[in-house]
Chains A and B, each alone.
Chain A
Amino acid sequence: MTNSQELKETLARISGVDVRKCMRCGKCSGTCPAYDEMEYHPHEFVYMVEKGEIEKLMASPSLYKCLSCFACVERCPRGVEPAKVVEAVRLLVIRQQGCNHMTPDQIPALLDEDLPQQAIVSAMRKYSK
């Protein structure tokens, strides 16, 4: 089995998403609030996973731009749930040793007087393992 096939299966297991359901309407990307900041957009995540181009996604900073707002999940007419694909690819990366995107020692410099604890715990959950 090729590495790409293996990655595809791992990704399906983590996300629970069947990327073949996508009809490429682009609605997920049309509604995505992080669209302008992304190199690959939600519909491309879905399409590229289907084509087996997961390593390209793993190397993309787009992984860290998703806000987990779930707009794409709510509005996809085919129930594909693209945000779950983004989350699963991000986990493939940060679960590797030394691949955290944010570490606790970066936090003090980012704090201000009003920052709610919720922001810190959420960012840690999203960006590090």
Chain B
Amino acid sequence: MVLTQNNNADTTVIRIENLCKSYSLQGTDGKSIVNQVLFDINMTVYQGEFVAIMGHSGSGKSTLMNILGCLDIPTSGSYWLSGKNISTLTENELARIRNQSIGFVFQGFNLLKRMTALDNVAVPLLYAGINRSQSRKQALALLCRTGLEKFAMHQPNQLSGGQQQRVAISRALVNHPPLILADEPTGNLDTQTSKEIMLLFEQLNREQGITIVLVTHEDDIASYARRLIRLKDGCVIYDDKNTITGDH
């Protein structure tokens, strides 16, 4: 299974070339300072891969993930997602890509408050133009698969961290995107819950061939991935393309 995926790996999901990102900040003396966060990043991710991006805090992992998730735009360089050049797309087309092609999982869950788990999962379907009752049906099906059907009518503040992250993962999956981006998805969870979440990601990758790019700074979390990329001060310092199970 894994091997067949890798053999068909000529399908690129992500390709970035010479990607740079810098922020301009207002300095104390009133002059604007340019703070470059990402330097000349090159990487290619093929369909079915499970990639972990590691690096110290402040090394630019989230910045990279936000660009990959079309939530932010690079300062220079190119980004192709499933063959589409992102920089040529309009705001509406980007919204559509975020809706259809990417499932984003955040460290802080980012569920909508005062809305049931079911309705939270259904939101991407609504923006895909599916009506409410149909959306709820599909959302419930996903909650069943992640083992949360009992909590469908709970609001986020009535759920544990692990349950909230499962709701968020269900939401990321609901439009069947080929790519899941997860920025420190276990950052707010205890070890046991983190393990369960990672097993869920591993299962999604293995059984459904969903491409997963995951950011973490913990080695045992990264060990669930099959490829490791290390960032340091905004540069890729390590990219190991052929790891099957990580034990770095």
**Is B a genuine binding partner of A?**
no
Which chain A residues have a beta carbon within 8 Å of chain B's beta carbons? none
